């Protein structure tokens, strides 16, 4: 990371992007340029509250769907490293509005690549040797697993939702621009992230909020869908390893070694609340089984052996410690929860059931 003096982060006001920026500001000395259009799930407070951000972090409100402005800002900022976190990421919202995911995850990635290609082609040779685009993706592009086996770097894409299909397409674009135009790129596909500052629509923060308010906790189907839970800080450590030591043009899979089904995750959170804030009834009685999500993937699991062996990465958090730390953070930061939910007008309602056609 020390060789990159100017780092451009797209989607840096989102959950994972902001985690990356905080880490870089605290541990490295580069300048951070943060492009984020500031949608419903964006929040800059976790970055701007850092003293390091005042001198080395700049935010630019820009929608990557605007190609002209994208190429102008990249040419103006002259980054050495571009880390692309920008994406719409909630499966339920993609079921309601698939067109937005095509625009934000595919067209925006295309514009970023084309703007970067223009910039890269005009760099002197010495600068080209120290330029990189790192693209952040998901294990959901691989589809679903049965009881056994894990995804790895050779797993074929088999997306099952508009979200995962749009991310799969963006991965293909990044690889194509590397092979067709010689743009230095790397890709990481991660498992489900959790940790502080995650927008409350996702399973773990939503369950915590429902427990705080003693409200019904929705569980899709039977709740036995398995996810490989990865703490966001472990994810960022892995990304940095890939940026520093990974091979150009290669894809790396990042998993958290934390396979849990959704019902067990929710019961773990409920059990923790039983201990720290006992109520008349166990919190598990708040669990409410609802109609399953269409096309709901049954199991995700990532084999991270390549990044472990080649880049010497392994997660620091086990799920038990990570989830308890995460619960504590949300309990102690209820003002943040209130602020982001009020600003986005999200009230904890279910999504993914709007049957209106995209137009």
Question: Of 31, 36, 139, 259, which one is the catalytic site residue?
Answer: 139
Angle between helices 319-332 and 203-213 (to 10 degrees): 50
Q: What angle do CA 70, 74, 77 make, to 5 degrees?
A: 135
Angle between helices 334-344 and 203-213 (to 10 degrees): 110
Whether 163 is catalytic is yes
For residue 25, give the nearest of 1, 42, 3 by alpha carbon: 1
Q: Which two tokens stand for residue 260?
A: 């849990």
Helix (H) or strand (E) holding 276: helix 262-276
Backbone angle region of 287, left / alpha / beta, with phi > 0 → left and psi within -120 to 50 → alpha: beta
Question: Of 163, 194, 252, 317, which one is the catalytic site residue?
Answer: 163
Cα 237 to chain centroid, rounded: 14
Whether 129 is catalytic is no
Residues shown for the chain: 359
Whether 140 is catalytic is yes
Catalytic sites, residue numbers: 139-140, 163
């Amino acid at each position: 990371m020390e060789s990159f003096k100017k780092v451009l982060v797209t989607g840096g006001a989102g959950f994972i992007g902001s985690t990356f920026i905080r880490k870089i500001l605290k541990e490295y000395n580069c300048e951070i340029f943060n492009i984020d259009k500031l949608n419903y799930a964006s929040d800059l407070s976790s970055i701007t509250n850092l003293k390091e951000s005042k001198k080395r972090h700049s935010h630019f409100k820009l929608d990557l769907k605007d190609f002209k402005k994208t190429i102008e800002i990249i040419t103006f900022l002259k980054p050495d490293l571009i880390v692309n976190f920008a994406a719409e990421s909630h499966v339920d919202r993609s079921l309601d509005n698939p067109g937005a995911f095509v625009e934000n995850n595919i067209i925006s990635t295309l514009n970023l690549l084309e703007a970067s290609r223009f910039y890269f082609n005009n760099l002197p040779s010495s600068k080209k040797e120290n330029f990189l685009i790192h693209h952040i993706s998901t294990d959901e592009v691989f589809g679903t697993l049965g009881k056994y086996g894990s995804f790895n770097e050779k797993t074929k894409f088999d997306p099952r939702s508009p979200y995962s299909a749009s991310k799969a397409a963006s991965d293909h674009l990044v690889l194509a621009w590397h092979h067709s135009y010689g743009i230095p790129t790397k890709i990481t596909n991660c498992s489900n992230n959790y940790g502080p500052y995650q927008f409350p629509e996702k399973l773990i923060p939503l369950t915590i909020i429902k427990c705080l308010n003693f409200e019904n906790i929705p569980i899709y189907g039977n709740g036995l869908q398995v996810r490989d839970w990865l703490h966001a800080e472990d994810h960022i450590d892995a990304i940095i390893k890939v940026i520093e030591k990974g091979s150009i043009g290669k894809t790396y899979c990042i998993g958290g070694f934390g396979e849990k089904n959704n019902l067990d995750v929710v019961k773990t959170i409920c059990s923790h609340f039983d201990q720290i804030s006992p109520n008349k009834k166990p919190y598990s009685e708040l669990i409410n089984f609802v109609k399953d999500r269409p096309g709901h993937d049954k199991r995700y699991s990532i084999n991270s052996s390549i990044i472990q062996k080649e880049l010497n990465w392994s997660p620091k958090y086990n799920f038990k410690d990570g989830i308890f730390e995460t619960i504590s953070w949300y309990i102690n930061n209820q003002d943040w929860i209130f602020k982001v939910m009020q600003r986005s007008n999200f009230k904890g309602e279910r999504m993914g059931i709007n049957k209106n056609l995209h137009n």
